[in-house]
Chains A and B, each alone.
Chain A
Amino acid sequence: MATFIVRRVLWLVVVLFAVSVLVFLIFFATPGVDPARQMAGRNPTAETIKNIKHEFGLDRPLPVQYGLMMKHIFVSRDLISYGSHTKVIPEILSAAPVTLSLVFGAAVIWIVFSILTGLAAAVFRGTVIDPLLMILALIGISIPVFWLGEVVNLVTQSRLHGFFLFSWVPPLGYTPFTQDPLLWFEGLVFPWLTLSVLYIGFYARVLRANLIETENEDYVRTARAKGISERRVLLRHTLRTSMITFVSLFGLDFGVLVGGGALLTEVVFGLPGVGLLTYHSLTSLDLPVIMTTVIYGAFFITLASALVDLVYAWLDPRVRPA
């Protein structure tokens, strides 16, 4: 266990280093990128640009610049954004809870509903329920999240807002949990549902396929031959082993979303999360923010995959280290 953790932490460091170097190089290799010129405002003099370059260390050699940036992120934690001239770390730290709230809630919904849907489809195979559920799942996968989000907004915020079912929906935006838990919850219900639709569809289909495959395994037949109930065969034998794929998928998707992948949902619902921050920094080529969000994202993805490996070992004793 200890070796596992040590190995994982080392791996995390390697990944973060590689990702940050890559982003850094891409940024400087991108043609037409001159952060100093952007910061200098309209029609800057050569003198201004030179001053800005010096001020932000942009006239130093690349490795030094990289080292300085890492120092500002990890050691002094006072990296300044090129765009807003504010400190980047606090910005990310205030955006992270928004994203985490969004993704955690959506994940709970998608896990519960995809398992229910997948199970139901597998159990009712051969009846009309199975293809019906699978078509619904396919629709869920196919609907673009930004379109669905806009439709949801249209319905809950304007057209049917007067209707009692939607009248409780607060205006777009985010209320911190610490400030008003109820408002936090109400404001996130529809973003959660919207974000989870795609994943419910996808995970339900994957789970159904796995369940059906596992159903043909010899050990499921053994379980039946033992005389245990169909319900127990399904939950303790078939579902349990089918969850192995499910969990590995979940870890990666979850990591990606926490790391900023829920961008579209955040934009549509006006949630100032990490995705939104990344998006803005990308449009303005704001390297400090890009760098920090990318490192943040890579951190969560690596962390999630380490957690997946742990859960995986718990689910499947065959991969446990002896």
Chain B
Amino acid sequence: MAEPLLEVRDLKVSFRTEDGIVRAVDGISFTVDEGEVVGIVGESGSGKSVTMMSVMRLITDPNVIYQGEILYKGRNLMQVSRDAMREVRGEEIAMIFQDPMTSLNPVYTVGWQIEEQLNEHYDLKKGQARRRASELLAQVGIPRPEQRIDDYPHQFSGGMRQRVMIALALSCNPDLLIADEPTTALDVTIQAQILELIKDLRRDFGSAVVLITHDLGVVADIADRILVMYAGRIVEEGNKEQIFYDPQHPYTWGLLGSIARLDRPKARRLTAIAGQPPSLINRPKGCSFRPRCPQAFDRCRAEDPQLTVKVGDGHLDACHLSVEDKRARRDATISPELADTA
């Protein structure tokens, strides 16, 4: 098999705080192949953003401690110089952020902001950068790009601003695009448009995409592979069919059960996952999800479950339950109304 585009090996990211060391990411490993769309799903504080910010080395907090390796095209990004990292950022790996209202600098025109990145990475003549910026704006579906290029971010709507952000991210044709909750701050109708746009552009630009979200519904359509994160660890990994039709980890069940679905017979209350994520300062022994897990038993308290292949074919999970038990129990969480009638 060819070398993956991005390989994260046992990444640990911690922050020194007054209360102790907060381990935001606790030893995660995964790969992203060229052109692949990987969804990272998890609730707030599960470490998904920190993981991808680490890949970009964008965490400016002086109290951060990194361990592990981040191999991009075989090069360990943790060890390259700051200048070499700058060349990777924007040109090789680009990032779209959650809130398009604040992610663009309010005092420069959108064209200026796109041109700034182009000029940083390429030797362009005066008119070239502007022409390219205008083309990009057209590609992301902004009407009248020749005029809008001289507008400031506040003159765009939220969805349009996110399109500008996407144009900015794609301006240097990156091999990897990291989208950190790109639709969370947008209206539902706009969300679908933006996801559609990312999908189309992935095809046109051939970039691999890592899509970070807390909403499994968002990745359902576009991700090839899905990582489910909980408390700084990956608890389940598999392709789309595996995660949606054969979920192994009770946390994934909980996430699936909390999606509103219109294809089900009768409306019901959405099941919420009870409780809060654990403190990342003093992680309890055993499974991190145990305190919130209705399926927990003695072994969960004593032993830390490892992320391993249990059902085969690239489908990994970190749960002590046997595959049979999981299959028997999960419907009660994911779709209780079906379980009742069965």
- Closest B residue to A224 by CB, please name it: B58
- Residue of B88, B107, B121 near A240 (CB, 8 A) is B107
- Residue of B95, B103, B107 near A241 (CB, 8 A) is B107
Chain B residue contacts of A41, Cβ below 8 A: none
How far, in whole Å, are A25 and B29 apart by their CA atoms in the complex?
Answer: 79
- Closest B residue to A314 by CB, please name it: B107
Q: Which of B135-169 contact A (CB under 8 A)?
A: 152, 154, 165, 168
> B-facing mask of A204-241, CB < 8 A → 1, else 0?
00000000000101110111111111100000110011
Assess whether B91 is interfacial by the CB under 8 Å rule: yes
- Closest B residue to A236 by CB, please name it: B116
How far, in whole Å, are A228 and B59 apart by their CA atoms in the complex?
Answer: 15
Please tell me if the beta carbons of A222 and B106 are within 8 angstroms of each other in the complex. Answer: no
Assuming the A-B contacts A227-B88, A227-B117, are A316 and B97 also in contact, with contact meaning beta carbons closer than 8 angstroms in the complex? no
Task: Indicate the size class of the contact surface on chain A.
Answer: 20 to 34
How far, in whole Å, are A223 and B113 apart by their CA atoms in the complex?
Answer: 9
Assess whether B44 is interfacial by the CB under 8 Å rule: no
Chain B residue contacts of A222, Cβ below 8 A: 97, 103-105, 165, 168
Please tell me if the beta carbons of B120 and A219 are within 8 angstroms of each other in the complex. Answer: no
Chain A residue contacts of B89, Cβ below 8 A: 224-227
How far, in whole Å, are A316 and B94 apart by their CA atoms in the complex?
Answer: 27
How far, in whole Å, are A47 and B82 apart by their CA atoms in the complex?
Answer: 88
Please tell me if the beta carbons of A219 and B90 are within 8 angstroms of each other in the complex. Answer: no
Chain A residue contacts of B103, Cβ below 8 A: 218-219, 221-222
Please tell me if the beta carbons of A226 and B106 are within 8 angstroms of each other in the complex. Answer: no
Assess whether A42 is interfacial by the CB under 8 Å rule: no
Chain A residue contacts of B105, Cβ below 8 A: 219, 222-223, 237, 240-241
- Closest B residue to A316 by CB, please name it: B107
Chain A residue contacts of B106, Cβ below 8 A: 219, 241, 316-318
Q: Which of B151-195 contact A (CB under 8 A)?
A: 152, 154, 165, 168
- Closest B residue to A125 by CB, please name it: B62
Per CB-CB distance, the 5 closest pairs between chain A and chain B, nearest first, are A227-B90, A227-B89, A218-B102, A219-B105, A226-B117
Assess whether B70 is interfacial by the CB under 8 Å rule: no
Please tell me if the beta carbons of B120 and A226 are within 8 angstroms of each other in the complex. Answer: yes
Assuming the A-B contacts A228-B117, A240-B107, A315-B107, are A217 and B58 also in contact, with contact meaning beta carbons closer than 8 angstroms in the complex? no
Chain B residue contacts of A317, Cβ below 8 A: 106-107, 109, 152, 154
Assuming the A-B contacts A226-B89, A318-B154, are A218 and B97 also in contact, with contact meaning beta carbons closer than 8 angstroms in the complex? yes
Assess whether A126 is interfacial by the CB under 8 Å rule: yes
Count residues of chain B with CB under 8 A from any CB of chain A.
30
How far, in whole Å, are A315 and B121 apart by their CA atoms in the complex?
Answer: 27
Assuming the A-B contacts A218-B102, A218-B103, A241-B107, are A225 and B152 also in contact, with contact meaning beta carbons closer than 8 angstroms in the complex? no
How far, in whole Å, are A236 and B116 apart by their CA atoms in the complex?
Answer: 10
19 A-B contact pairs sorted by A residue (CB < 8 Å): A126-B62, A218-B99, A222-B168, A223-B105, A224-B60, A225-B89, A225-B95, A226-B89, A226-B116, A226-B120, A227-B121, A228-B90, A228-B117, A241-B105, A241-B106, A315-B107, A316-B106, A318-B152, A318-B154
Chain B residue contacts of A215, Cβ below 8 A: 60
Chain A residue contacts of B121, Cβ below 8 A: 227
Chain B residue contacts of A126, Cβ below 8 A: 62
**Residue with the highest number of chain A CB atoms closer than 10 Å, among B62, B91, B107:** B107
- Closest B residue to A322 by CB, please name it: B155
Assess whether B303 is interfacial by the CB under 8 Å rule: no
Q: Which of B14-70 contact A (CB under 8 A)?
A: 56, 58, 60, 62
**Distance (whole angstroms) from the CB of A217 to the closest CB of chain B:** 7
Please tell me if the beta carbons of A219 and B168 are within 8 angstroms of each other in the complex. Answer: no
Chain B residue contacts of A241, Cβ below 8 A: 105-107
How far, in whole Å, are A289 and B281 apart by their CA atoms in the complex?
Answer: 70
Chain B residue contacts of A224, Cβ below 8 A: 58, 60, 89
Please tell me if the beta carbons of A219 and B86 are within 8 angstroms of each other in the complex. Answer: no
Please tell me if the beta carbons of A225 and B58 are within 8 angstroms of each other in the complex. Answer: yes
Q: Which of B74-127 contact A (CB under 8 A)?
A: 82, 86-91, 94-95, 97, 99, 102-107, 109, 116-117, 120-121
> B-facing mask of A228-256, CB < 8 A → 1, else 0?
11100000110011000000000000000
Please tell me if the beta carbons of B120 and A227 are within 8 angstroms of each other in the complex. Answer: yes
